[in-house]
Structure formats: C-alpha cells, structure tokens
A and B are shown apart, each in its own frame.
Chain A
Amino acid sequence: MHEIHDRRLVRGGRGQTRVLERGEGPAALVLLHGGLAGQSPYVGAAELWQPLLDRLRVPRVLALDTPGVGASTLSDFGELTLTGTKAWLAAMLAELGAERVVLVGHGEAALLALDCARERPEGIAVDGVALVAGHTTAPAVAEMRNLTLLSPPPRWSAASQRWALERLSYSAAHVTPELVARLAEHTADEPHRRAAELLGDVDTALERALDQGGAKAALYAHSRDVGFETPISIVWGAHDPLAPVEHGHGLFEVLSTTRAPLDFNVVTRCGHFPHRERPAEAARLIEPFALRCLRDG
C-alpha cells in the first residue's frame, strides 16, 4: 500500500477527527468515504481514498474519517444523522481553515455531499460536488432488493472486510492484505464499536434509515422545485453491483434542473470503487472538475 500522507488528529466540534491531508490553503477538495459507520459490512475509512489522494494535482486535499470511523470519535447517535454529520463537518472545516470546498462523496457520502450543496449550511461553502458511485442517492424505490451482500461472514472480521470489498468490486486487485488488515483494525477501534453498539438497537437503526430517506426526499424535492446552483459531477462504475448505470443516469436526469454545470461519467470495467479500481481514470475526471469549481468559486 502507498504511504499515507500527512495524517493527524484534529480536535473540533465534540471530539477528534482523523485527517489525511496534502497541500495547503483555504480552498480544498474534501474526500468523504462511503459506508455507514457501525452498519456497513466494510468499514469506510479515509485511507480508502489513498489511490486518488496520490494522484490529484489540486492545491489542497483532505480525507476525513467521519464520526464513528477510525480514530474519529462518536459522541452520540446525533452525530450519525445527516444534521449531526453536517455540524461535525462544519466544525472540522473551520478547524482546518478550509474556507471553500469541493466535496467528493463516495457511496453513502454522496447524499451528505448533495445535502450540503442543497442546504448550504453555515461553515460549509460548497463550490462543487463530485459523486462517486453514489448509489443511495439514485432513484430506485421500485427496484428489487439488492442481494450483493446478503450472506456475509461473521461481521467485523478481516474475512468480512475482504468479502465485502471483493463483492462490490469489478476487479479485486485493489483489495490488498494490508488494506484488509487495516480496516479490520478499525472495526476494533472504540468509535466503531460505539457506532455498532448504538446501531445494534433496532429502533436506532430504523431512525437512521428514516433520516437517510428524509435526506433523499429533500434532495428530490429540491431538484424538482428549486434546482441546484452548485456544479455537480457524477462518476459511476459500469459494473457497480449496488446500482447499475441506469440508476446513475436516473440521478443525472433528476439533477438536470440545476442552473450550474452537471455531467455524468461512466468508468468501464469498474464496480463500486472507481477511485480504487480505476484511480487514474477517476482522477482524470474529478481533477479538472474540481479545478474549475475552485477557480469559479
């Protein structure tokens, strides 16, 4: 595995956050990992961005562990809701001096990124949003249940990390033993154990699902009635087992009420992790988009 860039713990909001960082300045690309802390079969964590982090030639790039992941503490369930996560993000960006950002959300974090662009919360000045395999944002209400991760090995084991990453990928070459070991370590971290404990409660898990569903409804209503004003770029794996290209195109059409630039890019021979499976391709798509957004503010 590549060497991790400057890694540090930053105190902000109600706890501490682990940050991978390269470059400097007030304008930053902020990479938000996918997965839902304490629930997803694989632990989404900042180091999943490493292949992209190595390639992006932008003034500053930050990859954050969200609350409940890695060394990012989790105070209570509120920090796992969209509202709580946005408050955490605003506090972190203030601590890091990131005054203007392009948010890059993978998987579940695509919803967070779009929610920030919609609401424009204080402290998060969003110049652009890139969605990478944002399966939970795509219209899919009438779809059949997705069975990709139906029968996992025992949860939180190294085997389950490997199993989930491999099943979600078109090419599993990026699923190295080092990565699997690292994610397995994260499952034992206190923040993750806390998240898993909270979400082991059926009512709490339901509350989170309703929170995510509410954010999705707000996104669609906003697109229908108002339209976005933030540039958006969508990157989709042609073989994402969680959401076929048609879902991505559906999202593209939903968002096309925007008054700002919007594009949709299909990376072939690629599953749920374009930034890991085809990192050069993902960088080639995201970098010029981010540079245009940061230039135009």
Chain B
Amino acid sequence: MEEIPRYPGLPAPSWLDVGGLPTWHVEAGSGTPVIFVYGGNWGTAESQGGAYAWDGTFAALSRSFRTIAYDKPGQGYTPAPEADADHTMGYVVDHLLGLIEALELPPVHLVGHSRGGYIVTRATLLRPDLVRSLTIVNSGTLMPDVSTNEVVLARPPAPSFTRESARWVYENYCHLREAVTDEWVEQSYQVLVHPAHRAAVERIRDRRLMATVFNPQLARDKRETLGWLAEGRLQRPVQVIWSLNDRTARATGAYRLLETLSAFEPRTVLNMVDKAGHFPFREQPEWFYDTLGRFVEEGGYDHA
C-alpha cells in the first residue's frame, strides 16, 4: 500500500473514512478532544494549506488534550470530492461533522483559523451537541466586515506551483516575515506539487468550480450564518483570537464579530496580539498556546 505522506512537525498520520472520502488525519495526547481546522480553500495554485499549519500548537496542546488535526477535502493530502456539486463550503462543514462522528468523539473543542473559523462556527450552529467550545482565529470569512485578501494577495509575482509563490503568499499574510520559515514554505510546496492536488486544481479551474459553485454557495451561507449569529443561535463558549497587524482580516472585524457573539453568549472573550499578521499561532506561538490552552482548560459547555 502507498505510504501516507507526512508533515515533519506532526505525528504519523492515518487515513480515516469520512462519508466515503479517505481523510488524512493525526492524533496525539489524551483527554478532551481538540480539533484544529486550518484556513484556505481548494483550487489554489500559489500556496496550499495543510494540517502542518498547526504543528507547534498541536504539540503544545497535546500535553493536556487529545489533539486532532486533519486535511480538509481538496487541501493537504485529502482528495477533493468527486462530484462538481460537492465543491461547496457546505460539503467541507459536513465533512468536519462527519469526522467527529467517524471518530466517535465526545463533544469537542473546535479551533478554526481564517476560513476554518467560519467552518467551526457553522459546524457548531448545525450540531451544537457535538461541540464544547469554539475558538475563532483571524477569520475574514466569518467576520461581517470586508475581507481584504484579494487586495493584499492580488497577482503574486512568482510563477504558480513554486516555493517562491508560497513564500510570497505567506510573507504577505504575516507581519513577522521571519515567521515564514523554509520548513513552512516547503510543506506548502510539497502539497502544491502533489499529483493529486495538481489534478484537483486543474479540474476546479477547468470547470470553473470556484466561480460557479463554491463562491456563490459560500456567499449565500455566510449571509445565513451571520443571520443565525444575530439571532443568538450560537450557544457555546467562544474565544475570538485576532492580531493587530492582519492586513487581510483587519482588527475592526474582530470587534464587530465579538459584539454579535457576546450579545447572546456570556462566555465570550476577545484576545488580540500585537506584532502578528494573519497567523498569530505561528507569529506569536507562545502567547497563542497560553491563550488557547487556558480557554479550553475551562472545559467549555458542560454536556453532562
């Protein structure tokens, strides 16, 4: 059998069947489960996310929790869904819920970054019975304000599917360029040039699935999600973590999000760090581990 691709900073992975989709995932530690959901989406040719994004956080929290990281459909080493119609954020959200059920987990702490912040929020709204708490990190996708990714990351100067393009993207996302290490770039690059990923990107481009399926459905669902938040349907403790120097998901968005969430949920807090851009968990790792660790230590919503 083909060897499962690995990320150097994470434990040995295994495949998990989630609704028929072979899903790359890793686990470590014991105790209450904490699941990490990274950002980005399928179909990108300049850089590509993967569970590797969480390596430091994963290791730090696995000392006290059962930590779980996985590759989202069409990202990292998990294949994209086969049907065109499944190329939606709704599919990615359902896949996360399917993963929790496939692992037969008790209620979990969810941690989502960027697009992952939207995913964990939507998942909690759909299935609160599976969730103890959620942590939303620099999520332009979820915040009500304008996200400026398309401005900051417009027209990368380096060719697609190269280390240079991956480095350029992360250096523009981050405030601390020294946080963008060769190891980080290399892991993104290895995913980018993986044959299955390249084939998925080409298919998504050829069939224009972002413009015709993914983006319109996300736009509809985001409106619905923000409506649900404004109705007070999110009833789990929430930690909003943000960075002062994020040029793509600016700090003002964090305050508007906090205002909406805290109107209904008593256990809501905002933690914002200086000298970090879009990746506070990689740019200010120790602060991030402490901030996240202390929050989940409190246990979240008690399902007992």
Contact = CB atoms under 8 A, between A and B. Distances in A.
Question: Are these two chains actual partners, yes or no?
Answer: yes
A255 B275 CA distance: 11
Contact of A249 (B251, B266, B271, B284): B251
A265 B269 contact: yes
Given A249-B251, A264-B272, A284 B262 contact: no
Given A265-B269, A268-B258, A281-B269, A258 B298 contact: no
B286 interface: yes
A258 B266 CA distance: 33
Contacts of A263: 271-274, 287, 291
Contact of A238 (B262, B275, B291): B262
B247 to A, nearest CB: 15
A238 B172 CA distance: 32
Interface in A43-83: none
Interface in B223-274: 244, 251, 255, 258, 262, 266, 268-274
A284 B244 contact: no
A288 B294 contact: yes
B184 interface: no
- Indicate the size class of the contact surface on chain B: 20 to 34
A264 B258 CA distance: 14
A269 interface: yes
A84 interface: no
Interface in A245-288: 245, 249, 252-253, 255-256, 258, 261-269, 280-281, 284-285, 287-288
Contacts of A245: 255
Given A265-B269, A268-B266, A288 B290 contact: yes
B168 interface: no
Interface residues of A, number: 25
A226 to B, nearest CB: 16
Nearest to B286: A292
A266 B269 contact: yes
Interface string B262-304: 1000101111111100000000101100110011001000000
Q: Which of A245, A256, A268, A285 has the most CB of B within 10 A?
A: A268
Contacts of A281: 269
Contact of A262 (B269, B274, B290, B298): B274
Contacts of A249: 251, 255
A263 B284 CA distance: 11
A268 B244 contact: no
B258 to A, nearest CB: 6
Nearest to B268: A268
Contacts of A265: 269-272
Contact of B269 (A253, A268, A287): A268
A252 B258 contact: no
Nearest to B263: A268
A256 B258 CA distance: 22
Given A261-B275, A261-B287, A264-B274, 7 more contacts: A238-B262, A256-B244, A265-B269, A268-B258, A268-B266, A288-B291, A292-B286
Interface of A: 238, 245, 249, 252-253, 255-256, 258, 261-269, 280-281, 284-285, 287-289, 292
14 contacts: A253-B244, A255-B274, A256-B244, A256-B274, A261-B273, A261-B274, A263-B273, A264-B271, A264-B272, A265-B269, A267-B269, A268-B258, A284-B298, A285-B294
